[in-house]
Amino acid sequence: MSRNISLIAFIFPIVALLIFSGCGPKQRAAEGLLDTPESHYNQGMRKLEQGELDAAQKQFEDALLLDAKYAPAHAGLSLVYAERASEIADPKSKERKNLLKKGDDHLDKAKDLDDKDVRIWIAQIRFYTTSKKGDKWLKDCEKALKKALKINPKSDEAYYFMGLAYKEAYEFRQAEDVLRSALEIDGSWSEKAGEALQNVHKIVEAQPGTKYGKIIALEDEINRADLAVLFIEELNVVQRIKRREAAGTQPDLSFKPENPLEFSIPGASSAEIADIEGHWAESMIRDFVETGLFDVMQDHKFYPDEPVTRIEFAGAVQRLIYMVTRDESVFSKYIGEKESHIHDMRTDHPYYGAAMLCVERDIMDLDKMSG
């Protein structure tokens, strides 16, 4: 009996090991000369930069099938999970928390396996920038930057992603400093660093005075409600106009395009707006429309959740500049130009002058490739 118990005690751990070792992904042998963990990791990072999360995840998982202890692949998976979590708006979402937990686990695994690989610490900067996990996420990024630079003082990639972290934290001057460091290294990330630096420099020059202005400064696209709130909060246009009225110099900001059927109704009363009742920005939209800087559409709707077009924004800026400067030439300066400086806009377009004003004053950029 004693002998049988001893035999069972000896066999059981072996059987358990075989059973549980079969629960994880099975390792596979390389099927080609370049079928390596590193090649799959590199492809995964390319897919991640392109926003193809499913393809990126598959490549990182393929790398781990070849080598379960390949740390960069775990770091790559942490970024995939962070990106997936960022797509969920509700910070209290259980799914979002689970995704961040998975990402955190992979990041910890990567650091446990190889904390001497600069890519792991760059991944930590990116993970916390995307997830903003915890109240001290920026400090976690800064710690990771120190680790990365200790391994490779010339890592333009580390500087670049730390620049994006500062930008996301609204620390624009610090973002300028580290992005400039990335640019000076003149490595593979320098071009992106230069573009990001140019963007941040414009934000610094604009000096957004409110938190809302700083938030909007980071967005590539905003909706019409956001624009209304931006002008009310950041530019304080209502108070500016009231001061003009008190001084007896109320500006006439009405604007009549050549074909009014194509555009909107100038000077429409805020009481006539048909689609903003109950909207979170209703009060500010009404104030915005009453300033005369922005108009409702022909159907008396504001369409608050629709994206602002570039010509709409240019038109609002043109009127605002006139309101501040009283310079009537902002409306007439570009009339009669024979050749358009904007390749996809004719000189007789109703908003050509507004667009050129924004381009010349470096408020808006032309597409570098198409003009």
For the chain of 371 residues, list the mean pLDDT of each consecutive stretch of 10: 50 48 64 87 95 96 96 98 93 93 97 97 97 90 98 97 94 94 93 91 66 57 85 72 59 43 45 84 87 85 90 86 80 84 86 86 71 57
d(CA 70, CA 266): 62
The predicted pLDDT at position 322 comes to: 83
Q: What's the pLDDT score for residue 176?
A: 94
| Residue 346: predicted pLDDT | 87
Phi–psi pair at 122, nearest 5 degrees: -65, -40
**Token pair of 31, please?**
């099927």
**Residue spans in the chain of domains classed CATH 1.25.40.10:** 25-152
Sequence-separated (6 or more) residues with CB below 8 Å from residue 113: 69, 70, 71, 74
3-state secondary structure of 107: helix
The predicted pLDDT at position 37 comes to: 93
Torsions phi, psi for 283 (to 5 deg):
-60, -45
- Could you tell me which CATH class the domain 25-152 is placed in? mainly alpha
Residue 265: strand pairing partners: 296
Predicted confidence at residue 254, as pLDDT, reads 47
Helix H or strand E segment including 296:
strand 296-297
Residue burial 127-150, b: 16+ Cβ < 10 Å; e: rest = bbbbbbbeeebbebbbebbebbbe
By DSSP bridging, strand 264-265 and strand 296-297 are antiparallel
Res 207: pLDDT = 59
Alpha-carbon distance 319 to 145, whole Å? 44
Q: Which pLDDT score, from 0 to 100, does residue 255 have?
A: 44
Alpha carbon distances (Å) from 142 to 147, 202, 273: 9, 24, 48
DSSP state letter for 26: P
